[in-house]
Structure formats: C-alpha cells, structure tokens
Amino acid sequence: MKPPDYYKCARHELIDFVPGAANRILDCGCGSGIFGKTIKQRQKCALVGIELNRHASGLARNNIDYTIKADLNTFDFTTLKTDFDLIIFSDILEHLINPHITLKKALTKLTPNGSVLISIPNIAHPSILKQLKAGLFRYTAAGILDNTHLRFFTKTTITQLLAALDLKIKKLRPYPSKENPIQYHILAQPVKELHGQPKTTIIIPTFNCMAYTKQTISSLYATEQLPFKLIVIDNNSTDETVTWLRSMDNFLHIENEQNLGFSISNNLGLELVKTPSFILANNDIVFTPHATSRLFNRLYSDQQIGIVGPLTNYASGPQVIKNVPYNNTESLYTFSEQIRSSNIDKTMPFHRIVFFCTIFKSELLQKVGLLDENFIVGNFEDDDYCRRAISAGYKLLIDKSVFVHHYGSQTWKENNLDYKLYMEHNKTIFTKKYGL
C-alpha cells in the first residue's frame, strides 16, 4: 500500500532544473499536481498533466491547468493539441512497461528547442548493492525498490537510454548527494545533428585528457568527413571533460560511474548503432581530410571486407609510418595528402588491425558480436575481435592511402594507469582463449 503522501510531493529539489523560459509544460505522471503548482508559482506557464491514479488526477485539476487521466503505457500523445517546451518524467519511467517507447512517443510533442526533465531512482545505490551482496532484493512501498517499479536504472543506463533517443544531456546530478545517490536528476535536449542521414557512428571513449579529446573532436568537425553520428562514452572523468561534453550540442554522450575500460565503453555505444558502419576511435587522434569517407569507400569496395584501418604514426604492426615529417596541423594535412596521392588503391591484407581509428561494417555486430569484456581497461580486445571476424569469413585491410595522426597512450599516461600490468593480464586471457 502506498504512503498517504505518495502522490503529493512538491519536488522543490527539481525546480532549478526547470527552464525559466518554458511556458508550455507537460508533466507525465503528475501525481496530484503539487510540483506543477510549484512551477506555476515561480513562472508564467500553461501546465498539462497526465496521471493514471484517479484520486491523484482529481486533486491535480485544482493545481494545474489541465489534467488527463490516462495510462502512459498506452497513451496516444498525438491527441495532445500543442507541443511543449518542457516534458517532465519525474520518477515515472521506472513504472512503465517500456520507457524507451513511451519517451520516444512523448518526444514527438517536444518543441525544437525544448527540454526533457527526468528524475530516476538509482538501482546502484550503496544500500541496494549491500542487499545484493547479502542475496536480498526486498521491495518496499516507496523508494528505489518501490513495489510498482518495472524497470531499474543506473547512471550509465539512463544516459544510454537518452543517447538512444538522440537526447543530449545538459545537466545531471546525483541527489541528494554524490555520496548518497538515491536518484539522478537530468535535463536533456534533442541533439542538433549536423548530418540528417549518417552513414557511420563514431564512438570515442574518454577518461580525462580533455585537451586531447577536444582536439580529436574538433579535427573531426573541421575536416570533410563521411556523414556521421558521434557518441562519446565518458568513464567518470574528474577533469573538466564532462562539463565540456554537456556544453556541446552537436553530438551525444553517455556518462559512466567509473572507468569501465575500452571494451565495455565501446560496447555501450555499439548497442546504439543504427548506421551501415561504425568507427571505434581513440580520444587522442587527429582526423585528416576525407579520412573516414575513404575508409568507408574501401570498406564497401568488397562484400567480404569487414574491417579497415588507416596508416598512422603510432601503433604496433604494419600500420605505422616511422619518423613522420610534420609538426603542426597544416603540415599533417599536407603529409596525409601525399600519402593518399602516392598510395591510391593500395591496400594490405593483415590479420590484425589496431583499433585507434577503425571502421567496421555494422553487420559484424550480428555475426561476430560485441567486444569481449573480459579484456579489462585496454589491450588485446582488438586482436580478439579481428580473429573472430576472420573466423566469420571477413577480410581485414589496411588502407595505405589513409593516414590519421595518433598521439598514442595518452589516457594511460595522464591517468597513471599501469600499462604493463593490464597488458599482461589481457595477454593471459587472450592466450588461454585461443590455446596459444
């Protein structure tokens, strides 16, 4: 049985996430409309609420402008006669059968510059983890384990859900504190896509190293490239990376609670791929003009080709050109053009492509699967995936007409990660897996 005040929360803690310019607001799961009343007391707006509970929706009619008694699982959002500057899902997504579908339908009623405000319980709260360690999962009348919750979210999974719907996180905070994250408050907006029909999804994991990340992404947008969708996966950076990511409007990002490493981070992005191809890229590279377009064209020059990588200045194996002559961006571009003109249509089949900037056919996700998450932090996940792709009948190529600059191992260096330790650990996993 629900507590008497279950539908009567004022939610004063959310008011600072409500954009002051929003004058048409839809509150999905509005309860008795107390939060809506609080918003209306602060700013001039028209506020519509949707609520399933009969008693609560009756009370809401006294607090907000218009109330619809309906089940959000089946509600037809097209029946709403206006679009909204703000759509609120305050502790309601977890009660829905399919939050992704409901949220997607609601977004059709969002104005072009509108926002979505979400409050969501955190199933990874320390108290829940403590229960799980004891083999318990006890539902309660309210709270994180509310007995009417159908879905459960962590910081990573709610931000991944938003990215799947092309929503850009603008503000996010644990509440009531970072040490006691009972729930997350998020304000998100539709990403401002540069390419309406992307042909590739570029996935870039980050862990600090903001200066390199900014240069990588800047070079991507500054040079002519294949139409793309960019998803950045941040691994709980402690510098200004997250603040900068939230400030950017033209690409998506996911926020993790800790450093999940190369395989898991990329897999979070790969689960969202809807384009014909995808690119796994490090956050310490510099894209050269037309690099991704040329890699894409090479990838689709033969039905059997599954993975293509470029030449670079820093990697292991035959992709490396030693003693490169450039020392700035302009001379890098000149050098990359010299490489292109002297190696037109030159390729090299090889059994291993280094995943610092690599393009794949998306069909590999169905036939080969995701990256093996047993390889922690980094190293050998690319060796493993290449072997699996070859076993599935795909060819691997180095395109010798494409050059991409790679600073190399900057995340390892800046975060003082023990490269040798993880290399040996992953090497052991790799050799055991393949009986080497």
265 and 337 inside one domain: yes
Mean pLDDT of the chain: 94
Domains identified in the chain, total number:
2
User: Is 409's pLDDT higher than 70?
Assistant: no
In-domain check, residue 265: yes
In-domain check, residue 6: no
Q: How large a percentage of the chain has pLDDT more than 90?
A: 88
CATH number of domain containing 32? 3.40.50.150
In-domain check, residue 70: yes
pLDDT at 436: 82
Indicate the pLDDT class of residue 191, thresholds 50, 70 and 90. Answer: very high
CB contact burial 42-63 (16+ within 10 A = b; e otherwise): eeebbbbbbbbbeebbebbeeb
Last residue of a domain, one of 159, 190, 221: 190
Last residue of a domain, one of 158, 190, 222: 190
Over range 394-399, report the average pLDDT.
Answer: 98
369 and 247 inside one domain: yes
User: Is 3's pLDDT higher than 80?
Assistant: no
In-domain check, residue 17: yes
97 and 147 inside one domain: yes
Indicate the pLDDT class of residue 2, thresholds 50, 70 and 90. Answer: low
Residue 4 or 238, more confident: 238
111 and 230 inside one domain: no
- Looking at 91-227, which runs of residues are DSSP E strands? 110-121, 167-176, 181-190, 200-206
User: Is 164's pLDDT higher than 80?
Assistant: yes
pLDDT at 1: 62
For residue 327, the enclosing domain spans 200-434
pLDDT at 400: 97
171 and 215 inside one domain: no
CB contact burial 295-330 (16+ within 10 A = b; e otherwise): bbebbeeeeebbbbbbbbbbbeeebebeebebeebe
Over range 154-175, report the average pLDDT.
Answer: 98
Secondary structure letter of residue 310 according to DSSP: E
In-domain check, residue 1: no
Tens of pLDDT, residues 306-355: 999 999 999 989 999 999 999 999 999 999 999 999 999 999 999 999 99
pLDDT at 424: 85
In-domain check, residue 281: yes
266 and 376 inside one domain: yes
What pTM did the predictor assign? 0.94
**Strand partners for 305:** 395
User: Is 267's pLDDT higher than 70?
Assistant: yes
71 residue type, one letter:
D
25 and 167 inside one domain: yes
237 and 371 inside one domain: yes
In-domain check, residue 195: no
Whole-number Å distance between alpha carbons of 247 and 78: 31
pLDDT at 19: 97
pLDDT at 421: 78
27 and 171 inside one domain: yes
Tens of pLDDT, residues 104-129: 999 999 999 999 999 999 999 999 99
130 and 262 inside one domain: no
Last residue of a domain, one of 190, 219, 243: 190
186 and 54 inside one domain: yes
Tens of pLDDT, residues 35-87: 999 999 999 999 999 999 999 999 999 999 999 999 999 999 999 999 999 99
pLDDT at 376: 79
CATH number of domain containing 370? 3.90.550.10
